[in-house]
Structure 1
């Protein structure tokens, strides 16, 4: 038997690394904690004027009040929390509403704190430790299959068959919605080609296109926009090259029905803690058939063995490919995680997850505990001195209640995290 080709060894090595990294995060006794979460109820919804959709995507966030800065701020009151958790809904047709909320029940603060003061620079720290999941036989399998691409240039994660969790700044810059947010789309990795043999099953003929062809046409347009050659004759690719490229990830694009962004993200509302609310939920027009990932709440990531987190996204410097990474948390507060996971623009909005045991069971389960906000220039002490970090926004019991309410539409179904 001859040597095994390197191209076959690499995917296996990546998966082995994922398993080892996840198992090193936990011990046999550690399980997902059970949290009693407050109720977030809609109080009143009013129509707003249509936004201008004039904002431009941001590669980096600047001036956000970081962990050290926030430690000097007073704790938010009940009225503050209700104002921050009030939210705007932007619909596919460009209309917009504002919903005020009430918070009922005990608001539990997480206990994560760290005395770490180490500093690094930029998005990639030392040796680049990211893994490219380029083969679709792996990228379309759980947990990688939960990662999605947002048409504004970010990533996201499926948290229900019809809902995607992402970063708020991927939709809104704090003052206005991005110019691409009005026709927002989400790309889900395709597992199988939709091409039929000999044209069978296409259902086109001379009549109207079938229902799914619109997304397929959009997918084709997206791929052609990236320079893929589809010519014939002299421009035709070799059979081996076509076979190799058929294994690369491709997307099935779905329109977004509505988007919900917490008011705490808006400038002028919560300037001191705006970074805490850098998350949004997109409701898709069409439910996806791939497995999603549930939300989870953990009191302190650093108290886990290795304090390690994982996430996958579509980094700009590796176009078309899913990129996986893991690293340990360096510093945490009630709402933010500082870490030095290697990342590039495009990975913002990725779901940060860990893997623990379910209570009373031997089964392991991955859950989303944060949203990767991306590379930020943080106001360290509130004096304007900027320091760069890679930042993730934690899922707290209160944020869990709000996001669950957006997904289920009934906060009474969101009592236990």
Structure 2
């Protein structure tokens, strides 16, 4: 029964779940011109101590209604926040100042962090609706195979053959880099063959499995946005082999200065994202970046993400849920998640403009559980950092090294 339910979840396309009021045009990736983030100059900084403790962000987020009262940041303030630190494998560190070009400033709603009210218990709301992806046909195929594990205990997503998008707090607590981030590694989930035997290339069995994997991948393109029922659903058991991680060292890490606070500064949850450059490129498929649409443009109002939750050892965990609230930079939702899944890329599946095919793109980074001030009352959410046009431009600059490839998103 569980196997049947999981197959139904995988195969039902998300657009079929609408109430009929949305049109196909509503669920299309709308390409727009992106402002450019251009590197201006780079200076060397002192090497960090790598003494911070890894963990959840201990913060309270300014509520949505108070965000409307905050003044919109000036261009110089945005450029200060989008300037970025780069930490290299040998422990050296630099700061790169940037200029923003082609930006039209509009009134925005911003979030800020005020106090410290961490919740230590589970980040699962009510009935646990997560799926453990244990079957090789799913775990090693797109989109699930884009999820990776960080040696600091977080998750991330491959966004190029040698780049991983994750949360900034997975490597930096706002004051210092976390312990273990100096020798940071990224693990890609692999399935070992039973008995450790290697299959001969070109064997009939290998070809049959390749054909099966291709068929499974085709099925996965029809991934759902349907929410599971009340009971907790876990995926089918592994049919072949055991999971293990193939680890790769990180060559460099980029973090926006908006996340790195001074002695008297506060955390800015809007900038809780980071990009890792791997020493060795992967042959895995990766997920493209996309600009986060508004809630009204989400098929069924839902988002998806996969990560390695701490309470399910070495299991890839998939979930989806509706977005409850949004601000300019954050998504507030109740997707069931445990520590370890933070840093996961939140993705959508929308139609390509003028084409029949649909494509998944990363539109946010899961930051974790936070308390939010809502009309003077503390309310808790699981929060994600949206990829805005400016953040798209910055992350794209990190990936490509120049702004020329980042004009549209």
Q: Equivalent of 1:348, from 334, 338, 342?
A: 342
**Matches of residues 166-185 of structure 1 in structure 2 within 5 Å?**
166-185=166-185
Task: Kindly report which structure 2 residues correspond to 1:313-332, keeping only aligned pairs within 5 A, or say none.
Answer: 313-332=307-326
Shift of 1:319: 1.0
| Aligned-pair Cα RMSD in Å | 2.9
1:81 aligns with one of 67, 78, 81:
78
> What residue number does 1:157 align with?
157
Instruction: Name stretches of at least 5 consecutive residues in structure 2 with no aligned partner.
Output: 111-118, 202-236
Alignment of 1:343-382 (within 5 A): 343-380=337-374
Check if 1:415 corresponds to 2:407.
yes
User: What is the correspondence of 1:91-240 to structure 2 with a 5 Å cutoff?
Assistant: 91-107=88-104, 123-191=123-191, 193=193, 197=197
Structure 1 pair 286/301, CA: closer, same or farther in 2 (3 Å)?
same
Contact 1:152–1:181 under 8 Å retained in 2: yes
Query: Against the structure 1 CA distance between its residues 187 and 47, is the aligned structure 2 distance closer, same or farther, given a 3 Å change threshold?
Result: same
Deviations 1:9-42 (A, max 9, x none): 52x5324213436333685333101111011111
TM-score by length of 1: 0.79
SS in 1 for 2:371: strand
For residues 270 and 40 of structure 1, do their structure 2 counterparts lie closer, same or farther at Cα, with a shift above 3 Å needed?
A: farther
Measured in 2, the distance between the counterparts of 1:255 and 1:178 equals 16
- Which SS does the other structure have where 1:190 is aligned? strand
Report the CA distance between 1:398 and its aligned residue.
0.4
TM-score, reference length from structure 2: 0.81
Deviation at 1:136, TM superposition (A): 2.3
Contact kept in structure 2, 1:67 and 1:380, CA below 8 Å: yes
Report the counterpart of residue 289 of structure 1 in structure 2. Answer: 283
* Secondary structure of the structure 2 residue equivalent to 1:391: strand
Alignment partners' CA distance in 2, 1:299 and 1:269: 35
Aligned to 2:270: 276
Larger radius of gyration: 1
SS at match of 2:243: coil
SS at match of 1:302: helix
Asked if 2 retains the 8 angstrom alpha-carbon contact of 1:327 and 1:341, the reply is yes
Unaligned segments of structure 1, at least 5 residues: 1-5, 114-119, 202-242
Q: Give me the whole-angstrom Cα distance separating, in 2, the residues matched to 1:412 and 1:244.
A: 44
Q: Provide Cα deviations, 1:206-235, integer angstroms capped at 9, x if missing partner.
A: xxxxxxxxxxxxxxxxxxxxxxxxxxxxxx
Q: Distance in 1 between matches of 2:344 and 2:332?
A: 15
Count of residues in correspondence between the two structures: 360
Q: 1:64 offset after TM fit, Å? A: 3.5
CA distance in 2, matches of 1:33, 1:108: 20
Contact 1:255 1:284 in 2 (8 A): yes
- Deviation of the 1:69 alpha carbon: 3.6
SS in 2 for 1:411: coil
